[in-house]
Structure 1
């Protein structure tokens, strides 16, 4: 199957279930400070894990090493951008280090780590392609909500605006990897499942933020 057609089909299939209740709430008005702090604490752990996962993918798929090393580098940039947000909502570097993560919020990096170890080219690339657009959209909306309802500055929301757009060259490189995998016989249904799970873990992250 053509990689771009498969990508479009999966995004269409996932869109109906992509409602982000937490971001919807954030757009309507201020959210509780504890939830804002949870984002920083959970993301700190996620970034560290994802950076390792992308580095592993670069070693597993050397033909696409440039793609995955760029993503790993992006996680390093994101780590630096997270600190101004954390400080704005009352968290220090020590607080981030000592934060106790929520299992429900950490499904995403665990799934990515599994894909980095065991996933096929099609599974990895389709999961990232399908999810990055949703993640970027949520980040863009949340950054706007933080500026509007919490009076955060552009520097303080830069972590979220950084992710609001796809990394340069990402889509073409990931589509090339997906097509390579499909042409080599990677399981198409398995790739769809990987993408569906990735988006489910994405939403689970946001759902884990409000106070129970």
Structure 2
């Protein structure tokens, strides 16, 4: 990426570069089997159990970076992301109870690479890298959540209350995209390298794919 670039152009280029990985996320076998009704409650407990480690970790990561960055728009973006994870966690507790998850679940290493990388970004990276990574990842994760919501309410006997976790992540994203782009543009103006933002997005998308490929069945 040579020469000056703005957030919209940068994220467009990164999305183009990651189309193959995004398609692999869409085509993952676990989600396809869920939609076909071929997974049982054990698999659903696995998903909920993994997310009960992912969501609190991501929330702490956003909070930690927000404490270091009181400037706007970074601080508002990060505190908003942390608040969103809090909403998701409350909804996740309802899902976990509905599928019979106990408090003895042990996480899978491949699924936990994603939040581990987010924690590393929060420690070593910039708000622009975080915003770029999550913005590029938004379509893949939101689309997967929309598909899970449809599959679980249609074929697994769960209602909207039990599936609120998925509705939360597959809802309207216009305002999140607006502030994410503002954070990226601010970071670029501060000297954050476009290559660093692209790298963060590439790695986060790869770890998202690893999450789906590693889910217990």
Extract unaligned runs of 5+ from structure 1.
Answer: none
When the two chains are superposed, the root-mean-square deviation of aligned CA atoms in Å is 1.6
C-alpha separation between the residues in 2 aligned to 1:208 and 1:87?
22
**2:93 equivalent to 1:87:** no
C-alpha separation between the residues in 2 aligned to 1:209 and 1:121?
29
Q: Give the secondary structure class of the aligned counterpart of 1:42.
A: helix
Compare 157-166 and 109-118 and name the one that shifted more. Answer: 157-166
C-alpha separation between the residues in 2 aligned to 1:3 and 1:123?
11
The structure 1 segments of at least 4 consecutive aligned residues displaced by more than 6 Å after TM superposition are: none
Q: Give the secondary structure class of the aligned counterpart of 2:159.
A: coil
**2:13 equivalent to 1:9:** yes
- Residue 167 of structure 1 deviates from its aligned partner by 5.2
Q: Give the secondary structure class of the aligned counterpart of 1:151.
A: coil
Matching residue within 64, 68, 74 for 2:78 = 68
Matches within 5 A, 1:30-109: 30-62=38-70, 63=72, 64-91=74-101, 95-96=102-103, 98-109=104-115
**C-alpha contact 1:124 1:194 (8 A) present in aligned 2:** yes
C-alpha separation between the residues in 1 aligned to 2:210 and 2:40?
18
Matches within 5 A, 1:1-212: 1-18=5-22, 19-20=24-25, 21=28, 22-62=30-70, 63=72, 64-91=74-101, 95-96=102-103, 98-165=104-171, 169-211=175-217
C-alpha separation between the residues in 2 aligned to 1:131 and 1:118?
20
TM-score normalised according to structure 2 size: 0.89
**C-alpha contact 2:21 2:205 (8 A) present in aligned 1:** no
